[in-house]
Each structure stands twice: as C-alpha cells, then as structure tokens.
Amino acid sequence: MTVVCDDDSDELALNRQLCFALYAASRAMTKAYQPMLKDLNITYPQYLVLMVLWEWAQKGDEAEKNKSLGALGQRLMLDSGTLTPLLKRMEQRGLVRRRRASWDERVTLVEATDSAMALKPRARTWVQQQLQLSSITRAEVVELHGDLWHFLQKLGSETAR
C-alpha cells in the first residue's frame, strides 16, 4: 500500500502547532476554573477583571488616575468593545462601580464593591487547594508561566512593528 504524503504534511500538522497548543491549553484552563466560577457566579473574564480590581483596592486612593477602564484594558490586553459591556454586566450584578473622572470627563473609573471584595478569599482558597490537589507541581507552573510571559513579550514586540 502506498501512502501519499507530501513533504509539508508535518509542518502544518495540528498537533505540532504552537498556536493550537496555546488555544487548547487556554480553553482547558478556563474549563478547570468553572467549578469556582459557578460558585462565585461570575465568568472567567469577569474573574480576571476582579483580580485587577482586587489589586487596585489595596493601593488606596492615591493612584486613582490609574484605575480607569483604559488602564484595566492595558492590564488585560482588552479594549473597550469587550470591557464596556462586561463591566456593565458586573455593575448590574453589584460587583463594580463605574463613574466619570472629575478631572477628565472622558475617563471611566472602575472599582470593586464590598460584595466583590468578599469574593477574594474564596477565590484564593480555591486556587490554593486546586494546586495542592493537582499532580502539577508549583515549579512546573512557575516555569511554564515564565516561558509564556517571555514568549508574550517577544510576540508583542514583533507584532507592534
């Protein structure tokens, strides 16, 4: 039996594509978070927003200038087309407050409510437990995280050209 197989068959094989590995791993990770997200009654992107707002809440008021929708977008690499409706949904759920900056009417300031702050310890506990229960070591996580970040930097500096 003759197997027809041109020389580029390997080059574009799905299982060798970094792009697919990233795509699949990202979605698998999102799925792994679902039990916690369901418990907190939020979505995955909303959880990412909360992580930023939780950080901001610790910084006090001196850095209000940097607590805008735009700043949030820079941290998460998302634009207003994604964040505006997402934040409106979170506002409806009582998780965030939105208001215009007095010093610049273009700017929308965003902050976590007490209700949102209350979710933080629950998230922290769950994340810690999952890592302990997992067969994945902390060292593996740190290494993969570092490699991803390094990759992200290079990719960013190249696509910015």
Partner DNA sequence: GCGATTTATATTGTGCACAACTATATTTTG
Partner DNA sequence: CAAAATATAGTTGTGCACAATATAAATCGC
Q: Which residues bind DNA (CB under 7 A)?
A: 27, 30-31, 34, 43-46, 68-71, 73, 77-87, 89, 98, 103-108
89 binds, among a copy of itself, DNA, none (CB under 5 to 8 A by kind): DNA
DSSP structural state of residue 91 = H
Binding part of the chain for a copy of itself, among 21-29, 63-71, 84-92, 99-107 by CB under 8 A, reads: 21-29
User: What contacts 112, CB < 8 A, 6 or more positions away?
Assistant: 50, 53, 54, 56, 57, 95, 96
Min dist CB 66 to a copy of itself, Å, is: 14
> DSSP characters for 98-122?
EEEETTEEEEEEEEE-HHHHTHHHH
Give yes or no for residue 128 binding a copy of itself (CB under 8 A).
yes
CA angle 68, 73, 74 (to 5 degrees): 100
Choose the binding region for a copy of itself from 85-93, 94-102, 103-111, 130-138 (rule: CB under 8 A): 130-138
